[in-house]
Amino acid sequence: MNWLTNFIRPKIRSMVEQKDVPDNLWQKCDACEGMLFHRDLTENMSVCYHCGYHMRIPVMDRLRLMFDEGRFREVAAPSVLFDPLKFKDRKRYSDRLKETRSKLGRNDAIIIASGTMGDLPVVIAAFDFAFMGGSMGAAVGEGLVLAADTAVRQKAALIAIPASGGARMQEGALSLMQMPRTIVAVEQVKAAGLPYIVLLTDPTTGGVSASFAMVGDIHIAEPGCMIGFAGKRVIQETIREALPDDFQTAEYLRAHGMVDMVIARKDIRGSLIRILGILFHKNPSLSLNKGDSRTSEGRNGISKNGGKKKDSGSEPRALAKIKKTLKAKPAANTNGGNARGKKNAG
């Protein structure tokens, strides 16, 4: 009886019972609805290998992709006043902060990291969209000021990587004050003769897009990412006109002169290294387009105010050379259509 109970019954039960399969082995693409194996998706930098749709990527993974050998030093952000307005909606703002900090293991929505890219000094200020939608409050503003100060002190380039829904409503006017503060901070980097580059990711909206995110020396965007201030539906209801399907996408802004290049995620690091090499006069003979077959570049001579660009003669030679290189015919769209733009139409 023991033989039947201890040996035969477990064998039969193991053959009949269904084994538990982890829920995170597969992920569905939001654009083409294709099923993606998690290991293949990770190896492809969270880009759908069926249609090229660029999914959001964790901030630490992005930083490891950017720096040499994935190594960087995280700069501790200064502390700010905790819940200054004692704000409460359905939940206390202080409780939201505590829960999010406990879940993610960081104090706020920005990470400042310093290291090298192609052996060139770089400071990166990257947003974490998982932290309250990457919203910009006093802590984020202090973080950007610290990133700018660190870049000037280390004589390094400053790269901002926003992924944000805008200003943090729970901090009221204090969050809006961070818009001019961040502008002043990046202007200090420019005044020191150092490059300030913005890598726009999905989404970049609200007060972030209305401040430091759109005043870079060079703007690079990932394919299909949403970039704008107010939502598309709000604009349509205000002007009472239909807007294009690709409105507020990276490709739309590049075509209208607000973005310099739309680059696939796998090519961003190489393109940034070449740009920094030119700006730091380390390898000025390198072409921006070398090896970047999926890069869309060029403003086609259109300035941000809609007119023809004027050559003031005041730009540094290296920056002028890059912008001259950018005046090339646009490449084909690389993101499998404007799926994200359609998705965010509401």
Q: Examine the domain organization and report whether 48 and 62 are in the same domain.
A: no
Report yes or no on 5 lying in a domain.
no
Confidence of residue 7 (pLDDT cuts 50, 70, 90): low
Which residues in the chain belong to E strands, given as ranges?
A: 26-28, 35-37, 73-75, 110-117, 120-127, 157-161, 196-200, 218-221, 261-262, 296-297
Q: Examine the domain organization and report whether 46 and 92 are in the same domain.
A: no
Q: Examine the domain organization and report whether 126 and 154 are in the same domain.
A: yes
Residue-wise pLDDT tens digits, 107-157: 999 999 999 999 999 999 999 999 999 999 999 999 999 999 999 999 999
**Total domain count for the chain?**
2
Q: Examine the domain organization and report whether 240 and 270 are in the same domain.
A: yes
Would you report the helix, strand and coil content of the chain in percent, each value rounded to 5? 40, 15, 45
Q: Is a pLDDT exceeding 60 seen at residue 343? A: no
Report yes or no on 224 lying in a domain.
yes
**Percent over 90 (pLDDT), the chain:** 71
Q: Examine the domain organization and report whether 216 and 303 are in the same domain.
A: yes
Q: Examine the domain organization and report whether 45 and 129 are in the same domain.
A: no
Residue-wise pLDDT tens digits, 272-281: 999 999 999 8
Q: Which amino acid is at 142?
A: E
The model's pTM: 0.80
Report yes or no on 168 lying in a domain.
yes
What is the pLDDT at residue 281? Answer: 85
Q: Examine the domain organization and report whether 31 and 161 are in the same domain.
A: no
Q: Examine the domain organization and report whether 49 and 182 are in the same domain.
A: no
Report yes or no on 8 lying in a domain.
no
Report yes or no on 16 lying in a domain.
no
Higher-confidence position of 304 and 6: 6
Q: Examine the domain organization and report whether 231 and 257 are in the same domain.
A: yes
Report yes or no on 155 lying in a domain.
yes
Q: Examine the domain organization and report whether 153 and 35 are in the same domain.
A: no
**Full domain range(s) for residue 288:** 58-343
Report yes or no on 120 lying in a domain.
yes
Strand-pair partners of 227? 204
Residues 6 or more apart whose Cβ sits within 8 Å of residue 9: none
The CA R_g of the chain, rounded to the nearest whole Å, is 23
Strand-pair partners of 97? none
Report yes or no on 138 lying in a domain.
yes
Q: Examine the domain organization and report whether 116 and 37 are in the same domain.
A: no
Q: How far is CA 36 from CA 113, 195, 222, 316, in A?
A: 31, 38, 20, 45
**Among the listed ranges 92-106, 273-287, 320-334, which one has the minimum average pLDDT value?**
320-334
Q: Is a pLDDT exceeding 50 seen at residue 298? A: no
Write out the two tokens for 43. Answer: 């190896």
